[in-house]
Amino acid sequence: MENKNQKIMIGIFIIVVIIFIIFFFFNSGSSYKIILDGKEVTEFVKCYSWDYKNKSFLPCVWNKTIEGIPASYINWTLSPQDNCHFWNGTFPGFNIENETRSKELYDEVLPKCIWMGVEDIDEEWLNENCEVEFVDKNIKYKCSENLEILR
């Protein structure tokens, strides 16, 4: 009798595991839909702000004189060229004596960009980068002017 109960318990356990595996694989697909410029896509590029954190100033030329914009006046959403232009100057580069070093320093401040697919999107990223709207029983995340994530 005990052997029969043991076989039944093993059978029930195997059935539960199979149901769990089937449920997991059929529901493992993402529930997000990416809309870029009004079209559904499977991935997009996300670029962050310019990275001026290691710069105490941004060199600019005014009236043939090199001076600098202090870090507290740098607009992190603008390139070095656009920052200087905003203050009516021109950007000469980070090192006017060594072009290779100037490029290395410029590359350090370039915005970091990453490819993101549906599988890369998580709740934390959405909360940090998007505004939430509720549309008909769905949640719409407005992440930029042309990027929306639907769930």
Q: pLDDT by residue (tens digit) across 41-85?
A: 988 888 888 988 888 889 999 999 999 999 999 998 899 999 999
Structure tokens at 67: 């001076």
DSSP element (H, E) containing 131: strand 131-135
Q: Comparing 11-20, 36-45, 98-107, 109-118, which segment has the lowest mean pLDDT?
A: 11-20
The C-alpha R_g of the chain, in whole angstroms, comes to 27
| pLDDT tops 50 at residue 114 | yes
Whether residue 45 contacts residue 115, with contact meaning beta carbons closer than 8 Å, is answered with yes
DSSP per-residue codes, 3-69: HHHHHHHHHHHHHHHHHHHHHHHHS-S---EEEETTEEESEEEEE-----TT-SEEEEEETTEEEEE
- Give the type of residue at 76: W
d(CA 74, CA 56): 10
Q: What is the pTM of this model?
A: 0.55
